[in-house]
A and B are shown apart, each in its own frame.
Chain A
Amino acid sequence: MRVLVAWCPDWSVTAGLFELAETGDPGSEGRASSNQPAAVLSNNVVEVCNTAARAEGVRRGQRRRDAQARCPELVLLPANPERDARYFEPVLATVEELRPGVAPIRPGLLAVPAPGRYFGGEPHAAAIVAQRLVETGVWDCRLGVADDLFTAEQAARQALVQDCVVVPPGRSAPFVQALPVRVLADLTDGGAHGSAEGRELADLLRRLGLTTLGDFARLSAAEVSNRFGGFGLSVWQRARGGAPTALGSRTPPPELACEVGFEPPLESAEAVCFSVRTTAERFVQGLAGRQLVAVAVRIEAEADGVVTSARTWLHPRCFTSRDLVDRVHWQLQAGTAGSGLRSRRDSGAVRAAIERVRFLPETVEAAADHADGLWGGGADEQVTRGVARVQAMIGFDAVRSPVLQGGRSVADRQASIPWGERPVGLRPVDRPWPGRIPGPAPARVFSPPLLADVVDEAGRTVAVTERGVVTGEPWRYRIDAAPDVAVRRWTPVSSWAGPWPVDEAWWLSTETSGRSGRSARFQVVGVDGRAWLLVWRAAGWEVEAGYD
């Protein structure tokens, strides 16, 4: 079997630049061209760099600072194997259109049984593949055709940009044996950027005086096995040109996304929801046919040919068609003005007439994990349904799940996330958080805090000096805008504790963030037995929480 290998050098950099261009960072828009020197860094060490960067003297294994010293305009990209694989997917699909049975070897390298006969010769086939790849935006691709995978890859590495090197049938062994041993350093068995074993072996062979793979191939199998182990033996077999090739061809992934177009475009969210119902059912059934359920779905709505609203929705269990229709409704409503507190009347109109709605499964799980038990669904499923009803009444964001997080003030120590979403970006709880208030937690946490007044015996407002000393003993307090009317009166203080000064985020200016700067916390108990957590700031007193 003849094998065609397409190799895109420095794929991590290419994918990173693609992503940079796609995210549309305004500062870097013009810069993210493929001629720009760029490098992918991992642990502050250059992992991959492109040709432009290499011309400036950037090398793999350099530290970030050295690389930047050689090439100040170097675009630094974080290492992200997932991104590399994601951007390689369209390349695979492009080749798959020409010849099924594509084997992805790693991001940036693919193999496919050479489609020579159909396209009238292997050079022609390779030219067509190269042309299609360039059309998808991958201009640096090199191709090789040979009897086995190893030879084809080496041939591709020798090819020029968008060109192909064809090793004629039966000529693999002479081709491989002419190669220097340092090609083993880039051997792709171990990972994307050459395996440590390969590098070690290349170094060892060079020190032994074996400069080409031909020299290595002339050793006997027993000697190689004794001296270089299993890895050496596999390399030796390849160098002799007798390595078997088994391409792990992939099955093209099934198309699970569903979309529906409206002609003419629809103006109201209700009409859209009514029309997407069958599509939503088709989407869920398409997944169910493969024993899958979706737990995260991306919904895109198009108007005037552009995607006007796109959002990923998560589900605590799995999406049914009704849930999807609900999500479409919420998403289209969220785009309209005044949707924070929605009344039933003005909920209809959408901002622009919707002409297309698309469902894309983001995360799918095996349906067996979500199957109902013999005794019907558990309590959790009922709760999910009931909460969905509440969400339908008052909006998606109105139902929350409380979570704890780390922080100093009591309001910082908790958060609430919309029901069904996963918490992201929470501060860790298990840190010491010096400056937090120990003891029993307050049952009522006011966020934002309520305004208050605290005065001493003479009626002056109590303050805290820079040294953390109170100017007077708290004597009476009053809470403005309290939910309970009883507290709005002046209440004498029966006991108090504090001040506990905190100087948080002093590097931010007070205009941008009202929370920064010096503050001091007090626990104050009134004569009525109610205890409050008060905080003094330069701007005045506030109530953060109540121990009710």
Chain B
Amino acid sequence: MVAALQRRIESLQGAPTRLTVPVHPALEGLVQLRTGASYAVDSASLALGLAAGASRSGEWVGFAGWDDFGAEAATQWGIDLRRTVLVPEPGELWLEVTAALVDVLKVVVLKPTALVDAKSASVLDARLRARSSVLVVWGEWPRVEARLSAERVVWDGVGRGRGRLDHRELRVAVTRGGQRSARDLVLQ
């Protein structure tokens, strides 16, 4: 409680601090989300996993541009739907909508409908730093802190005409400023 209040006082006193935001335990150690930064992923599940940690710790999360949002999958990742804002079709104002969501939500997951230019992205970056939020982009983004991509996905439990999808083994590659690291994971 005291720590939370201190953090709040710090954030009110200006100097945006770079707080860490938890991620889902399955992605723990792979990437550490920091407020004020944007992250790119190439898979919906990874995006859900990045947002799940904040939702599990009681924060609000938002999804913009996801017209095919899987609510059940989000619940299985541990996202609390009662603290979730969904803007399935922001239309041509998607950048403004994202900026408005960044103002109030801890983690905003964006699926951009069009390519964004570097200038708009930097405006959004400034907003992220001022508001201590995290932007997760499912798709392309000009400048990101880290880029996560799912590689070599192998689904287990399914054969030729029998079984069912059970879990998958995949290698998640993290590109961070030219450096590249990878780790094998098993996801549901």
Chain A residues in the interface with B (C-beta under 8 A): 341, 375, 379-380, 382-383, 385-387, 389-390, 393-394, 398-404, 410, 413-416, 419, 437-447, 470, 473, 483, 495-498, 523, 525, 529-531, 545-548
B28 on the interface (CB 8 Å rule)? no
Of A393, A414, A473, the residue contacting B160 (CB under 8 A) is A473
> B70 to A530, Cβ gap below 8 A?
no
Query: Which residues of B lie under 8 Å from residue A400 when comparing CB positions?
Result: 86-88
List residues 42-63 of chain B with CB under 8 A from any CB of chain A: 43-45, 48, 59-60
Query: Which residues of A lie under 8 Å from residue B166 when comparing CB positions?
Result: 439-440
B93 on the interface (CB 8 Å rule)? yes
Binary interface profile of B, 55-79, with partner A (CB < 8 Å = 1, else 0)? 0000110000000111111111000
Which single residue of chain A is at the shortest CB-CB distance from B63?
A402
Closest chain B CB from A496 CB (angstroms): 6
Select the residue from A380, A389, A440 with max chain B CB neighbours within 10 A.
Answer: A440
Q: Which of the candidate stretches B17-25, B31-39, B95-103, B119-127 sits at the interface with the other chain?
A: B95-103
Of B87, B90, B104, the residue contacting A383 (CB under 8 A) is B104
Contact A393:B165 (CB < 8 A) given known A400-B87, A410-B70, A529-B152: no
Question: Assuming A446-B68, A498-B161, what are 9 further A-B pairs, CB within 8 angstroms?
Answer: A386-B104, A390-B101, A394-B87, A394-B93, A398-B89, A400-B88, A442-B70, A445-B69, A497-B162
Which single residue of chain A is at the shortest CB-CB distance from B77?
A443
Closest chain A CB from B80 CB (angstroms): 11
B177 on the interface (CB 8 Å rule)? no
Q: What is the bound-complex CA distance between A380 and B160, given in angstroms?
A: 49
Closest chain B CB from A271 CB (angstroms): 24
Query: Which residues of B lie under 8 Å from residue A399 when comparing CB positions?
Result: 85-87
Of B81, B162, B165, the residue contacting A531 (CB under 8 A) is B165
Closest chain B CB from A434 CB (angstroms): 15
Contact A383:B105 (CB < 8 A) given known A446-B68, A495-B158, A529-B154: yes
Q: What is the bound-complex CA distance between A387 and B100, given in angstroms?
A: 8
Binary interface profile of B, 138-172, with partner A (CB < 8 Å = 1, else 0)? 00000000000000111101111111111110100
> A523 to B158, Cβ gap below 8 A?
yes
Query: Which residues of A lie under 8 Å from residue B71 when comparing CB positions?
Result: 402-404, 413-416, 445
B84 on the interface (CB 8 Å rule)? yes
B181 on the interface (CB 8 Å rule)? no
Interface size on B, residues (CB 8 A): 53
> A447 to B68, Cβ gap below 8 A?
yes
Of A394, A402, A483, the residue contacting B90 (CB under 8 A) is A394
Q: Is the interface of A mostly helix, strand, loop or mixed?
A: mixed
Q: What is the bound-complex CA distance between A425 and B11, given in angstroms?
A: 43
B91 on the interface (CB 8 Å rule)? yes
Q: What is the bound-complex CA distance between A293 and B43, given in angstroms?
A: 44
> A548 to B155, Cβ gap below 8 A?
no
> B91 to A341, Cβ gap below 8 A?
yes
Contact A390:B72 (CB < 8 A) given known A439-B164, A497-B159, A525-B158: no
Closest chain B CB from A371 CB (angstroms): 20
Contact A495:B159 (CB < 8 A) given known A386-B101, A442-B73: yes
7 nearest CB pairs, A to B: A386-B104, A529-B153, A441-B72, A414-B71, A443-B44, A548-B44, A402-B71
Of A393, A413, A470, A548, the residue contacting B72 (CB under 8 A) is A413
Closest chain B CB from A457 CB (angstroms): 12
> A440 to B161, Cβ gap below 8 A?
no
Query: Which residues of B lie under 8 Å from residue A545 when comparing CB positions?
Result: 68, 70
Q: What is the bound-complex CA distance between A386 and B101, given in angstroms?
A: 6
Contact A414:B91 (CB < 8 A) given known A495-B158, A497-B164: no
> B87 to A389, Cβ gap below 8 A?
no
> B69 to A402, Cβ gap below 8 A?
yes
Q: What is the bound-complex CA distance between A125 and B90, given in angstroms?
A: 65
Q: What is the bound-complex CA distance between A410 and B76, given in angstroms?
A: 14
> A390 to B86, Cβ gap below 8 A?
no
Query: Which residues of A lie under 8 Å from residue B162 when comparing CB positions?
Result: 497
Q: What is the bound-complex CA distance between A2 and B100, given in angstroms?
A: 66
Q: What is the bound-complex CA distance between A548 and B170, given in angstroms?
A: 12
Binary interface profile of B, 166-188, with partner A (CB < 8 Å = 1, else 0)? 11101000000000000000001
Q: What is the bound-complex CA distance between A530 and B21, given in angstroms?
A: 29
> A393 to B97, Cβ gap below 8 A?
yes
Q: What is the bound-complex CA distance between A437 and B48, given in angstroms?
A: 21
Closest chain B CB from A523 CB (angstroms): 5
Query: Which residues of A lie under 8 Å from residue B60 when comparing CB positions?
Result: 379-380, 383
Closest chain B CB from A138 CB (angstroms): 46
Query: Which residues of A lie under 8 Å from residue B157 when comparing CB positions?
Result: 439
Q: What is the bound-complex CA distance between A483 and B89, given in angstroms?
A: 14
Closest chain B CB from A154 CB (angstroms): 55
What are 21 A-B contacts defined by CB distance under 8 Å?
A379-B104, A383-B105, A385-B104, A390-B97, A393-B100, A398-B87, A399-B87, A400-B87, A402-B86, A439-B166, A440-B73, A440-B166, A442-B70, A444-B44, A445-B72, A470-B161, A495-B158, A497-B158, A497-B161, A529-B155, A545-B70
